[in-house]
Amino acid sequence: MRWDGPAHLVEVLGADDRPEWDDHTVASQFRLRVSFPPEALSEAEAHGEPGEAERQGREDRREDLVLTIDPADARDHDDALAVATLPNGHHEVAVHIADVSWYVRPGTALDDEARLRGTSCYLPGGVVPMLPERLSADLCSLRDGVDRLALSVFIELDDHGTLHGFRFAETVIRSRASLSYEQVQAALDGETTLPAAQRAAVMTLMALARRLRERRFETGALQLESTEVRAVLDEQGDTIAMVRRPHLESHELVEEFMLLANRCVGEAGAVREAGVIWRIHESPVERRLAELDEMLRVLQLPRLGHPGEPHRALQALLAMPLDPARRRLLHRLVLRSMARARYLDRDLGHFGLATWEYLHFTSPIRRYPDLHNHRRVREWIRRTRDAAWDAGEVAALAESCSGREQDATDAEREGTKVKGLRLLAARLGDRASGSISGLVPRGFFVEMDEPPVDGFVAIGDLLDDRFDLDAAGVRLVGRRTRRRFTLGDRVDVIIARVDLPARECELVLDEAGPRRGREHRRQGWR
């Protein structure tokens, strides 16, 4: 697009060498709304702690053993769990979700702003929240020892994880403990002693979660693995380290009950045919599966079988016994072949979960579709219709939420990338090992082991040959030497140059000398 009119200064973001400005710069790049309008802040501050009026008509579950399980540094606790034994020997699992819809009403400045934001965004230096802190980190956060309003799903399960029924209720709860994933994992491993009642609840919930997980995979859900990298920062916002988040079984405990609660709300929404926003994940198109199979052939990985049965084919593929490196590569390729999950006003099913009637309900503090669906659940409980939603409005809202979710996802990746580049900039000339994570005609990307950050090796640094990218896009082949660089290959590199404004890190192969016409020495490489 060409612009011939006068230019004017919009915002001064700060200098590139100031790490404390990184989050602000990324937020501006992806059009994230950092500041709240005064009207929205005023509405949030006007709310007080729930009293008798707010508790009126709600189930009082304050005496139940309610637990939250979150990251150790979490401030917005939007879900909690409790479990009890029913007279018939079955288990009643209560999934308590912060009742954000009680505080954020349609037509208010708070709601207008939350809808525009669509989601919270978690940048390395802090969160850009969907709701003001008065709500997100205070009144709506299920902190231990204080009364909180919730929308709850009470789910009846037997010892085998079979669902025997569920119901919804407006409740008031009081969390007894805010546990971290690490604390729960230690209890599961027998390495720590929670209070006896808490430990018993955790063990029962974990046993049920394992059964639920087994049943999901038996019915076709895909077990895909991915690794999340986060930046560890000092007080000035500079990067101390980049670390991979460990995957713990305690994560699966929470995940299974959130998935189940979402499915219960989805099942009720399908019966009522009431204006919910669905979470859909479409089947991979035939062309993408064919491309995946060709990549697997070239890489000598297990191939796709069961033509015409994508679920069965991918399940069998992901179950193949492989060494850790090849397993990571396989899962990355499968993820790349998948469609992106999104929001929609109609149910098209969720391929990855192998289910229909799925939506988001369990995170209304940070996702607007969940807040929208909370309003529908309240209508079902009260047998009222508080707001009339036509199909066009719900469709437009779902599309908007999908777009804002992608913006936030891209911003989070960019924020992590910037902090990773800052760490690399302090390590110019260092040697590292890693795996080839992507290829293009002009070179290849390397995901280093330590720090776990991507850099790029330009093929022009290899002076002895010219290279072509194969048809499958997984291998660069030298014309003269037939030397190959293949996706997943291990390579040794040297960190040669970091360009923070351009978001680039240049690597050179440890065996290669500097490229003609480029004095890497000036950039710190020797």
pLDDT digits (tens, 9 = 90+) for 121-164: 999 999 999 999 999 999 999 999 999 999 999 999 999 999 99
102 shares a domain with 37: yes
Q: How confident is the model at residue 515 (pLDDT cuts 50, 70, 90)?
A: very low
Q: How confident is the model at residue 493 (pLDDT cuts 50, 70, 90)?
A: very high
pLDDT (average), residues 73-91: 93
pLDDT for res 431: 95
pLDDT tens digits for 62-74?
999 999 999 988 8
Kind of pairing between the strands at 454-458 and 443-448: antiparallel
pLDDT for res 518: 40
Query: Pick from 368, 388, 419: which residue ends a domain?
Result: 419
Residue 378 has pLDDT above 80, yes or no: yes
Query: Pick from 394, 419, 444: which residue ends a domain?
Result: 419
Residue 81 has pLDDT above 70, yes or no: yes
Residue 410 has pLDDT above 90, yes or no: yes
pLDDT for res 65: 97
Would residue 13 count as lying in a domain?
Answer: no
506 shares a domain with 484: yes
185 shares a domain with 51: yes
Q: How confident is the model at residue 207 (pLDDT cuts 50, 70, 90)?
A: very high
Say if CB 19 and CB 232 are below 8 A apart: no
Would residue 10 count as lying in a domain?
Answer: no
Task: Tell me which of 227-236, 263-272, 388-397, 400-409 is least confident.
Answer: 388-397
Residue 3 has pLDDT above 60, yes or no: no
Q: Tell me which H or E stretch contains 517.
A: none
Q: How confident is the model at residue 170 (pLDDT cuts 50, 70, 90)?
A: very high
Q: 420 in helix, strand or coil? A: helix
Query: Pick from 419, 452, 475: which residue ends a domain?
Result: 419
pLDDT (average), residues 245-272: 93
pLDDT for res 523: 41
Residue 312 has pLDDT above 60, yes or no: yes
CATH at residue 504: 2.40.50.140
260 shares a domain with 313: no
pLDDT for res 73: 83
Q: How far apart are CA 317 and CA 100, in angstroms?
A: 41
pLDDT for res 6: 54
248 shares a domain with 358: yes
pLDDT (average), residues 339-350: 95
Phi, psi of 457 (to 5 degrees): -105, 115
347 torsion bin: left (phi>0), alpha (psi -120 to 50), beta (else): beta
Residue 516 has pLDDT above 80, yes or no: no
248 shares a domain with 310: no
Would residue 95 count as lying in a domain?
Answer: yes
Residue 11 has pLDDT above 60, yes or no: no
Would residue 56 count as lying in a domain?
Answer: yes
pLDDT for res 359: 97
Residue 504 has pLDDT above 70, yes or no: yes
267 shares a domain with 127: yes
End-to-end CA distance of the chain: 42
What residues pair up with 504 in beta bridges, in sequence order? 499
* DSSP letters for 464-505: T--EEE-TTSSEEEETTT--EEETT-EEEEEEEEEETTTTEE
Range of the domain at 171: 33-273+344-419
pLDDT tens digits for 274-307?
789 999 999 998 889 889 989 988 988 888 877 6
pLDDT (average), residues 346-365: 95
pLDDT for res 522: 35
Percentage of the chain lying above the pLDDT 70 cut: 92
pLDDT (average), residues 246-257: 94
Give me the number of domains the chain comprises.
3
Mean confidence (pLDDT) of the chain: 89
Would residue 243 count as lying in a domain?
Answer: yes
268 shares a domain with 194: yes
245 shares a domain with 190: yes
380 shares a domain with 302: no
Q: How far apart are CA 515 and CA 460, in angstroms?
A: 7
Would residue 139 count as lying in a domain?
Answer: yes
434 shares a domain with 355: no
pLDDT for res 388: 56
Q: How far apart are CA 366 and CA 254, in angstroms?
A: 17
Would residue 11 count as lying in a domain?
Answer: no
359 shares a domain with 334: no
pLDDT (average), residues 331-340: 91
14 vs 437: which has the higher pLDDT:
437
Q: What tokens appear for 334 in the block?
A: 């499968």
Percentage of the chain lying above the pLDDT 90 cut: 69
Would residue 223 count as lying in a domain?
Answer: yes
Q: How confident is the model at residue 272 (pLDDT cuts 50, 70, 90)?
A: confident
Residue 149: which residues within 8 A CB-CB, separation 6 or more?
A: 50, 54, 55, 58, 98, 99, 102, 170, 171, 172
Residue 223 has pLDDT above 80, yes or no: yes
